[in-house]
Amino acid sequence: MRLPVGLRALWSRRAGVGPDPMPGFMPGECVLMPFDVVRRTYESKMRLRQGDEEAQRRTGGTEEITVWRPSWIPFASIGADAVAGLCVDAETGRIWYWCEYAERSVQFESLTDFMEEVADVLEVPLLAAEAGVGLMHGFLVWGMPQDAAERAAWEPLAG
């Protein structure tokens, strides 16, 4: 499968973020997934899909269950365990939210729309849906940290 140009460009700037505890530098406390985590997550989701397809063949089911589509490429996770995050549909360009409980929803029409929202919030932090955008130990953080020690190190991003 070919990676969308925008995703290749994003990964060329930074091929993932290190292990937790690492603040999320994208909205929703997402972090860019390293390639090995992308591969493992994709393979795991495709195994789930194959299991559902096999179960439907055995039972004669015809209802489409969207566990995972082959064109979905995960690129951002919420936390280091990659049980929830964002993926880009390589066919449509849409950005989907996914989680381990099979919740799926379109979040952005394109990676460009997603990155434009990131840029808008960096220019005007009050636009952030989270409590605020700030810096913690020199890292960009979306939202006020819950942990007291992290909250003490957090400072609002001026804008």
Confidence (pTM): 0.73
- The 8 Å CB, 24+ separation contacts for 146-153 are 150/21, 150/23
Alpha-helical (H) ranges within the chain are 5-13, 35-59, 111-123, 148-153
pLDDT at 18 over 80: no
pLDDT given at position 19: 47
Which among 141, 115, 118, 121 is positioned nearest to 156, based on CA atoms?
141
Mean pLDDT calculated for residue range 139-143 = 69
The number of CA neighbours under 13 Å toward the Cβ of 9 is 6
- pLDDT at residue 42, rounded to an integer: 93
Dihedral of the alpha carbons of 51, 54, 56, 57, in degrees to the nearest 10: 180
In whole angstroms, give the CA distance from residue 45 to residue 145.
30
If you average pLDDT over residues 76-105, what whole number do you get?
86
**DSSP 3-state helix, strand, coil percentages of the chain (rounded to 5)?**
35, 25, 40
Question: Do residues 3 and 73 make contact, with C-beta atoms less than 8 angstroms apart?
Answer: yes
Residue type, 60: G
